Amino acid sequence: MALYRRSAVTGGIFFLFLWAFLTKAEALEFEGRIQASNGGIKNAVVYFLDEGLRTNAAGNPVAVLDQKDYDFEPHVLIVLPGQSFLIKNSDPQAHDVRIFEGPQMIFRAEMSAGMPPLSKRLDQPGIYTVRCGVHHRMHSYVVPAANSFYALTDAGGNIRIADLKPGHHTLRIWQEDLGQVDLPLELKDSRSHFSYTFQNKNNP
C-alpha cells in the first residue's frame, strides 16, 4: 500500500511539472515597433482586445497619476477597468483635476498643495482625458485596457507583451495625435519584428 501511494504521488508530481512545462511552452512573446514617417512614436498604447484575455484588476498594484512641475506624470497611464489609481499633487500650488470621457466631464476635484492623494477608478475601457482647470496646458490620458496584455511604447516606439496564447487576436493601437486602429492578427509563434506605421494624422 505504501509503495502504491508513493507511486501515485510521484506520478502526480510528474504530470504537474509536465502540465506547467507545456503551459509555459505555449506562451508567446510579442515585440515590435510603432512608428510614423519620421520614426518611432512615444506614448502609443498597444493592447489586445480579446475577451478571453480579460483580467481581474484585483491584486494589481495601485497606479499613480502625479501633478508635478505643472504637468501630469505619466503623460499616459494604462490601468485595467476597475483598477484603482491615485491622483497626487506634488506641486506647491493648487490644481483643479478634471477627467473627461469624450466631451463629458465625469470627475472633478480641487487639489491644494500637500493634499493627500485621491483614489479613483474607471470601470469601462476607453480613452479618458485628464486636464487641469487652472493650468490649461496640463493634460494627460488614462487608458483602461481590455486586459493585462498591454504595452506603452518607449521613446523609440518599441513594445513587448509576454505570455500570450496562440490563436486569432485583435490588436488595438492608439496615439493621441495619430488616432486609433484595430488590427487582426494570428499568432502561431512568438513574434519579435512586428511593425505598424501611422500614415498621417487623419488616416492611421
Confidence tier at 58 by pLDDT (50, 70, 90): low
- CA pair distance 145, 151, nearest whole angstrom: 10
Q: Do 64 and 126 reside in the same domain of the chain?
A: yes
**For the residues 176-201, what does the mean pLDDT come to?**
89
| Strand stretches in 92-157, DSSP E | 95-101, 104-111, 118-121, 128-132, 139-144, 150-152
Examine the domain organization and report whether 68 and 141 are in the same domain.
yes
Q: Is the pLDDT of residue 203 over 60?
A: no
Residues 167, 139 share a domain: no
Q: Taking residues 73-98, what's their average pLDDT?
A: 95
Residue 172 has pLDDT above 80, yes or no: yes
Domain hosting residue 122, numbered range: 58-145
pLDDT > 60? residue 21: no
Q: Within a domain: residue 120?
A: yes
Tens digit of pLDDT for each residue in 104-113? 999 999 999 9
Q: What CATH number corresponds to the domain at position 159?
A: 2.60.40.1120
Q: Is residue 164 part of a domain?
A: yes
Task: Choose between 129 and 11: higher pLDDT.
Answer: 129
Angle, vertex CA 99, rays to CA 95 and CA 103, nearest 5: 125
Cell of 101: 470621457
Residue 24 has pLDDT above 50, yes or no: no
Segment 62-72 mean pLDDT = 96
> Do both 130 and 199 map to the same domain?
no
Are 178 and 140 within one domain?
A: no
Of the two residues 67 and 7, the one the predictor is more confident about is 67
User: Are residues 116 and 39 both part of a single domain?
Assistant: no
Segment (H or E) for 17: helix 2-26
List residues bridging with 63 in a β-sheet. 85
Q: Identify whether residues 141 and 159 lie together within a single domain.
A: no
Confidence at residue 7, expressed as pLDDT on a 0 to 100 scale: 52
- Cα–Cα distance measured from residue 21 to residue 65, given in angstroms and rounded to the nearest whole number: 38
**DSSP-based three-state secondary structure for 16:** helix
Q: Are residues 161 and 103 in the same domain?
A: no
Whether residues 124 and 200 share a domain: the answer is: no
pLDDT at 102: 94
- Can you give the pLDDT at residue 65? 98
* Contact (Cβ atoms closer than 8 angstroms) between residue 96 and residue 110: yes
Quick check: is 103 in a domain? yes
What pLDDT, on a 0 to 100 scale, did the predictor assign at position 19?
Answer: 40
Q: Averaged over 157-166, what is the pLDDT?
A: 93
Query: What is the pLDDT, as a whole number, of residue 34?
Result: 97
154 lies in the same domain as 178: yes
- Looking at the fold, whether 115 and 179 belong to one and the same domain comes out as no
Domain count, the chain: 2
Q: Does 41 reside within a domain? A: yes
Query: Which CATH number belongs to the domain containing residue 75 in this structure?
Result: 2.60.40.420
What pLDDT score does 22 carry? 40
